[in-house]
Each structure stands twice: as C-alpha cells, then as structure tokens.
Structure 1
Amino acid sequence: MDVDAYAAAHNAEWLRLEELINRAGKLRGAEIDELVELYQRAATHLSVVRSASPDPALIGRLTSLVARGRAAVSGANAPLWRDAARLITVSFPGTVYRQRWWWLGCALFGNLLALAVALWVAGDPRVQSTLGTPYDIQQLVEHDFANYYTEHEAGAFAFQVWVNNAWVSAQAIVFGILLGIPTLYVLVVNQLNLGVTGGLMAAHGKTDIFFGLILPHGLLELTAVYVACGVGLRLGWTIIDPGARPRGRALAEEGRAAMSVVLGLIGVLLVSGAIEGFVTGWVHTTWLRIGIGVVAEIAFLAYVWYFGRKAVAAGDTGDAIDTPDLAPAAA
C-alpha cells in the first residue's frame, strides 16, 4: 500500500474529525452524526494502516485521533472508577499473568544469585574484610540491620519505602525500552545487596534475625521487583523480536500494557510498604510477623492467577487502548 497516497486521500476526513473533537461539547444535530461517522472511518483507517504499513508516525497520529474520537463519542465523561476497575481486574493481572515466565525467571535467577553471594560472603572472612571494617560489620549485624525498621516513625517510614520501591520498579519497567540492560542492572544490584547483607548476618550467627525481618515485607516486595524486571525485560525483547507485528505497533502495545503494571505495582508496593513500616519492626512475635507476609504473598499470587488467567483466556493483552469501533467501509 502507498502510505503517502492513502494519507493524502483521507487527510481531509482526519482534519475534519479533529476539528469536531475540539468542539465536542458544542456540537449539535448533524455535526454529532458526522463526528460518529468520521470516528468510525478513522478507526477503520487505523486498522488498515496497522496491517499494511509499519509507518510509526502515521500509526501514532491515527491512534491518538481514534482515542480522542472514542472519548468524544462515547466516554468523555466516563466515570474514573470504570478505568480503575479495569486496571485492577483485567489490565494489571492480565499482563502480569501473560508475562509470568519472564518474572518467574527473574525470581529464579535473582534468588540463586543472592544465595550464591550470601554463601560466598558467609564462608570467606577475606571477602567480609573487603566489605567493611570489623567495627562497621559488627554495627550492622548487631544494631543497624534491626534498628533500620524502627528508627523512624512507622507512617513516615512506610511512605518512604513505598515511594522508593515504586520509583525503582517503574524505572525497571520503563528502562526496558533500552533493550532491558538497565532493567537487568536493577535486578542484579538489588540481589547483590540482599546477598551481601544476608551473608554478613549468617557469618555472625544472625540468620534467624535476617529472615525474621526480611520475610514479612520482603516476600511481596521482592515479588513486585521481579514482576517489574520481568515486564521490563519483555519490553526490551519486543524491540529485538516483535514477532508477527510491526516493531512500532508491537512496542506501542507492549508499552501500554507495561504502564498498567507500573500503576498496579504502586498498589502492591503500598501494601508491602505498610507491612515494612507497621509490622516488620513492631510485631515482636516472629511467626506472626512472617505469617502476615506469607498471607500477603499468597493473596497477591492468587489474585494474579485468578484474574490474570481469566483476562488472558478472554484474549485481553493488557493494552490500555480498547479495540475501536470500525465502520463498514472499504479501505
């Protein structure tokens, strides 16, 4: 298909549609009918261009026009709760479930890396000596590690860790567009820090304290990090191998789905941040503290598997843009 000729043939309709969209609140009678008809035509044009041309500029223009047209025709004042409900029950769990092998792979790799580093650090005093002075290490294992969870007011601490973890997870996803290299860096650094701390605690007989304070919030928090890294790596891989879709279209669709994960993880990390702020350092019964973390983790996984599998079975990819209404018009 000659993209330039196609665009030239329909450009007047697109400009007229844009004009009507800009005046959507002031249209009357025939203009409203015209808006609906032009919106449906533009949706058809977008479908044709996507299937016949990899032109990202034209696809981007038409995608934006169709989205604005949809809002003007049927949902400019749609309640916010409807979008939120779709995010919670479809887009977020559907994308997480669909990309489960990516983040489960990150979880396997990350935990093996942290375990290997912990065993290396715990078993070699020479490695420990390179990580800090004997006094600094003693302070960490005897005081600083445990005091970290109680040295600040619980609410402020929970908010701080929530914002920090949400920011790191968002970076891991968004930077996936750079072929996933920064995403992999985020995962490796996170696991190295976990392994080093665990190794130092184990070397001084504090393994029970380490797991007793890490597991309550860490189960859910680390799962969120693995999900973010898995989605980020999948986004990077889309650039390398877009499959049957044009690369621009594949990246746009996977990118929109990834943004739903960014929003969803904000809620997940709010829960883990609340546990870290109000439970980890303040609930003194170890089994209860860990039990709360286990329940939160099981609830998250059950939520993803139930709603995610349902969304995927229905053919939903997590893309935030719904399938537009097509006009029964010839290309």
Structure 2
Amino acid sequence: MREGLFLKKNVEKWKQYQFNQQADPDETAKRFTELVDDLGYAKTFYPESRVTRYLNGMASRIYLDIYRNKREPGSRILRFWKTDLPLVNYKHRRELFWAFIIFTTMAIMAAFSAAHDDSFVRGILGDGYVEMTEDNIAQGDPFGVYKDENRMEMFLRIALNNIQVSFLVFVGGLFLSLGSVWLLFVNGVMVGAFQYMFFAKGLGWDSVLVIWIHGSLEISAIVISGAAGFILGNSILFPGTRKRIDSLKVGAKHGAMLIIGLVPIFIAAAFLEGFVTRLTHMPKALSISILAISFIFIIWYFVIYPMIVNRRSQSPELS
C-alpha cells in the first residue's frame, strides 16, 4: 500500500484518537492495540516517514496514560516503604557514606580535643549544662536531666526539635552542600564533646547504655538528613546530562523522600527519650537489647535492604 493511501485510510481515526480522549480503559487499550498495528506496518514500509514518527509518539502517549492510571496492587504508602525509599537509599549510598564519615570524624576529633583541653567541653556545651551535669553526678544521678520534664511534654518537644534539626540539615544542601557539611560538623562536635564528658568522669559505658537508647536513632537520623542535604547540593553542583533546574527537582524529590522516611524514626527516638531513657536503672540486658535493635534496624533498612531491593528491581538505578 502506498504511503498516501495508508495515510488517507487511517488519518481520521488517528485524529479521533489524538483529540478525543477516552476514559474507558477497554477502549483505550483497543486504541493502543490498533495504533501498535499501524505503527508496525508503518515501520516496515515507511521507516523514515513522518507518519511513522507521528504514530510512535501517539502510541507512546497512550501507553504512558494506560500505565499511569493503572491500579497498582497494594497501597502506595506500602510501596513507598518497601520499594521507593530503599531504591533512593541505594542510589545515594555514597552521600550516606560521606555524611557518616564527616559526622563520625568530627565526633572523634571533638573527643580528642576534649582529652587535651579541659576547657573544650565547656566551650562546646556551655558552662550551665556542664555544671548541671556535674551537680547531678555529685547527687548520684548523672542522667537526672532526662527526668526533670513531664514525659508527654518532653516527647512532643523532642520530636518537633528533631524534625526541625533534620529539616535544617537537609535544606542546608541548597548552599552547594556546604550548609549540610557545617551542620554535620556542629552536631558531630557536640556529640563527641558530650560523650567524652562522661567517659572522663568514669561514666562512659553507663552513659552509652542510657543516652544511646534514644541517641542511636536520633543521631542516625541526623546523619541520614545530612545525606539528603548532599543529594540536594550535588543536584546543583553535578547536574549531569540534565538541565540544572531539572536536576534540582530530582534531587529535592529524593532528599525529601529521605526526610519523610525519617519521620517515624524521629518519633521513635523522641518516645524513647521521653519515656524510656529516664529509666536509668533498667537492667543492662534490656538496655543493650534496645540499642542492638535500633542499630540493627538502621543498618538493615538503610544499607542492607536497599541492596536487596535493588537486586530485585528490573532497573538497577532510580532515575
């Protein structure tokens, strides 16, 4: 069949498909099937024709419409936690690694500095906090600060504060990642100085068993927020083949997904700090169990499980 005859025979049908959108899924599927047949014929006999390109574009649009509106099995929320977020974690595993390295390095450097300079801890944490802690130690209750406030009020205040800090670390990525680096630096130094203060007074391991009940989740969330900030900053610095604005949109989306994924962790950390950390005389086995469960969860969900999901995925990298 000549191309002109082929065009004359089908053009009215194609115009109807193009300009008259069909809501009925069965009719849409029928149109797609007919267009694929026409496209196959055109590719065979007119491979370089504008008709072929036209049919290819229209078939692609209908295909995307079918799968965009296709009812997905299960809940979108469940898919977010089972697939989407782990794939984002896997794609940006380097950012997570560097956020961890920066934070940990700063904490170690702070502890080293505190060991060689008696005024360092006071300079970081403030005289008031150090003196309060020393008073609590003298009274035989070194972790009494966690018992001074109403449980529910403490839970709500800490949850909101954790979310705010994490969001600031994330948004800091807009400053070419430097804002996120600085906030990881500040928080790492505070943690290092804080932890050394208790080790210097012979309460190091006791503090680990008490403070890190909530700190394991809280600090992990700050590190992951730093990774989200790096994703945002790197999308500006290294757009790759995308336009910079398009790269920024993708980076903001992936970073925001990480922050959303951290919300349950913030809440869990605040609950532990408000209701559990104050139980400073709980059995060591119970404290160790809580610590182990927290760290195992973080490592599994943010490191190991994303690798498993990536291997199962048809697409090894999330675009």
When normalised by structure 1's length, the TM-score is 0.67
AA paired with 2:184?
Answer: L
Report the CA distance between 1:265 and its aligned residue. 0.5
AA paired with 2:295?
Answer: E
Over the aligned positions, Cα root-mean-square deviation in angstroms equals 3.6
1:219 to 207, 216, 219: 216
Counterpart residue number, 2:150: 153
Asked if residue 108 in structure 1 is aligned to residue 105 in structure 2, the reply is: no
Task: Quickly say closer, same or farther: Cα 1:100–1:142, change in 2 above 3 A.
Answer: farther
Task: Quickly say closer, same or farther: Cα 1:152–1:318, change in 2 above 3 A.
Answer: farther
1:93 to 86, 94, 99: 86
AA paired with 1:137?
Answer: V
Counterpart residue number, 2:234: 237
Counterpart residue number, 1:296: 294
AA paired with 1:91?
Answer: D
Report the CA distance between 1:142 and its aligned residue. 4.1
AA paired with 2:209?
Answer: G
Rounded Cα–Cα distance in structure 2 between residues aligned with 1:143 and 1:150: 11
Task: Quickly say closer, same or farther: Cα 1:109–1:305, change in 2 above 3 A.
Answer: closer
Report the CA distance between 1:281 and its aligned residue. 1.7
When normalised by structure 2's length, the TM-score is 0.69
Counterpart residue number, 1:177: 174
Asked if residue 270 in structure 1 is aligned to residue 263 in structure 2, the reply is: no
Does structure 1 conserve the Cα–Cα contact (< 8 Å) formed by 2:109 and 2:189? no
- 1:105-149 per-residue CA deviation (whole Å, 9 max, x = no partner) reads 222221221122123213322445656898863422342861232
Rounded Cα–Cα distance in structure 2 between residues aligned with 1:114 and 1:100: 21
AA paired with 2:95?
Answer: W
Counterpart residue number, 1:209: 206
Larger Rg over CA atoms: 2
Task: Quickly say closer, same or farther: Cα 1:86–1:206, change in 2 above 3 A.
Answer: same
- Structure with larger RCO (C-alpha < 8 A, sep 6+): 1
2:187 to 176, 190, 194: 190
Asked if residue 200 in structure 1 is aligned to residue 197 in structure 2, the reply is: yes
Report the CA distance between 1:263 and its aligned residue. 0.9
**Which consecutive residues of structure 1, in runs of 5 or more, have no partner in the other structure?**
1-12, 21-26, 38-65, 320-331
Q: Which SS does the other structure have where 1:179 is aligned?
A: coil
Does structure 2 conserve the Cα–Cα contact (< 8 Å) formed by 1:183 and 1:233? yes
Q: Which SS does the other structure have where 1:205 is aligned?
A: coil
Report the CA distance between 1:249 and its aligned residue. 2.2
- 1:190-238 per-residue CA deviation (whole Å, 9 max, x = no partner) reads 1121122223223333323332222212122211111110121122012
AA paired with 1:157?
Answer: M
Does structure 1 conserve the Cα–Cα contact (< 8 Å) formed by 2:96 and 2:227? yes
Task: Quickly say closer, same or farther: Cα 1:268–1:125, change in 2 above 3 A.
Answer: closer
Report the CA distance between 1:104 and its aligned residue. 2.1
Counterpart residue number, 1:23: none
Q: Which SS does the other structure have where 1:282 is aligned?
A: coil
Task: Quickly say closer, same or farther: Cα 1:182–1:136, change in 2 above 3 A.
Answer: closer
Q: Which SS does the other structure have where 2:143 is aligned?
A: helix
Task: Quickly say closer, same or farther: Cα 1:312–1:132, change in 2 above 3 A.
Answer: closer
Task: Quickly say closer, same or farther: Cα 1:140–1:248, change in 2 above 3 A.
Answer: same
Counterpart residue number, 2:69: 74
Does structure 2 conserve the Cα–Cα contact (< 8 Å) formed by 1:141 and 1:200? no
Q: Which SS does the other structure have where 1:152 is aligned?
A: coil
Task: Quickly say closer, same or farther: Cα 1:214–1:108, change in 2 above 3 A.
Answer: farther
- Amino-acid identity (%): 19
Rounded Cα–Cα distance in structure 1 between residues aligned with 2:306 and 2:273: 27
Rounded Cα–Cα distance in structure 2 between residues aligned with 1:224 and 1:102: 14
